[in-house]
Structure 1
Amino acid sequence: MSSSQEEDKPKFAPKTPVNLNPPKDDPISTAELAKANGKDSENTYVAIKGQIYDVTGNDSYVNGGYKVFAGKDASRALALSSLKPEDVRADWQDLSDKEKGVLNDWETFFSKRYNIVGKVSD
């Protein structure tokens, strides 16, 4: 791909186009989110900055390397590029600008691949 073609391609665009539903803002409690871990429910959700993405069907969030994120708000861990369970939490406001930029990149990545099914309500 030439550099001009790369410039035309949106940042973090998936290799194959994804048809996404309009985002929902249904309130989902952290308890409900926790059940959507791919094991206790047929759904697998991951939240970023309170926005909940449906990652159902991506086995990496059930049996793979990202299973630590399933059913949780993974904002801090994503910003820190961490898979440590203790980093998988919603608070991220105290992070550095660089880490917040990484988190924003993850948010963009998820928004181009997964349906938004709600917002964390508590």
Structure 2
Amino acid sequence: MAFKLPDKPPASPLDGKFTLEELAQFNGSDASKPIYVAIKGTVFDVSSKPEMYGPGKSYNVFAGKDGSRGLGKSSTKPEDAIADTTGMTASELKVLDDWFAFFEKRYQIVGHVVNGPKL
């Protein structure tokens, strides 16, 4: 029996573990790399939606980042596209959980941030 290569290569050479600096490489600026967004430390491949997460698009602020704070606060301000959720209200944390559930249903999980968000 012949060995068959997988249809798709692994998402990254990082074995599914990303520092925030490594995650930043997957921000959509390099067309040869997938686009990743992390939420609550979980990294999702959002490459199937370049019209949303690609350069210059509405949610690109979250590409290559853990944007938990901004998602929970419903903010696309660059300064809010960070992992730290310290001080967020219960309502904002619920919105963040809703975003996580949305992503979990629609996008493939490719890894986790190793020095994850402060939750």
Same fold (TM over 0.5): yes
Is 1:30 the counterpart of 2:23? The answer is: no
Residues 47-100 of structure 1, C-alpha deviation per residue, up to 9 Å, x if partnerless?
001000000121110131001110000100000000100000001142110000
TM-score for both structures, normalised by structure 2: 0.78
% identical aligned pairs: 50
**Which residue of structure 2 lines up, in the alignment, with residue 42 of structure 1?**
33
Moved over 6 A (4+): none
Distance 2:25 2:74 in 1: 24
Unpaired stretches in structure 1, ≥5 consecutive residues: 1-24
**Mapping of residues 5-20 of structure 1, within 5 Å:** none
TM-score for both structures, normalised by structure 1: 0.76
Q: Which moved more, 1:88-97 or 1:68-77?
A: 88-97
Let me know the Cα RMSD of the aligned residues.
Answer: 1.3
Query: Larger RCO: Structure 1 or Structure 2 (Cα < 8 Å, ≥ 6 residues apart)?
Result: 1
